[in-house]
Amino acid sequence: MHKKEKSFYEIKSINKDSSQIIWGNSSFKNSQNFENFVLDKDKIKTKWKNENFIILQRGTGSEAWINLILPIKKNEKLLQTDQVLAFDSVNNIIVRQNYNSEEYPFQLINLKNLEKDSIRFETKNCESINIINCIDKVDFNEKTLIINWTTPNKFKERGKTDISIYPLEKFFKK
């Protein structure tokens, strides 16, 4: 019987400008250096975790978030991205904001092979310049991605909640 090993990460200061992140389990350790802004010990937190990945999140002081995705595999490099909105811990898929397209505002990344796909998505009556501000919740449930939003998005009157469901089997096909 194979025993699951507990994964970890730690941050060590190198000098006043940079730090090192070390991660792994009892069998191996990986490491990578970063500037202290990214690895601020007081601001970086574990957002999600499973047996394959640790996903850290760090606020920047604006509505942007930096994410460090640490693969629990020997000699693997971490993936740095931003605005990870949800993590499917069963299928090892993240959904993040896609800044390169208003028509396809969400990008899915399969963390096992780094394959990417995008979601065509339209909200009704989104008054924000950033469509993400109109989204209430992004989540995975079994084999689907679920996006909830309320329109119109106003404080005074109660809006209508809409839900879009995307079967994961439709993604990552070439």
Domain ranges of the chain: 1-82
Helix (H, G, I), strand (E, B) or coil at 132: helix
- Return all residues near 89 (Cβ < 8 A) that are at least 6 apart: 48, 49, 50
- From first to last of its 174 residues, the chain has per-residue pLDDT tens of 455 679 999 999 999 889 999 999 999 999 999 887 777 777 889 999 999 999 999 988 777 788 999 999 999 999 999 889 999 999 999 999 888 777 788 899 999 999 999 988 766 667 777 777 778 889 999 899 999 887 665 666 666 778 888 999 988 876
Q: What is the DSSP string of 105-129?
A: -EEEEETTTTEEEEE----SS--SS
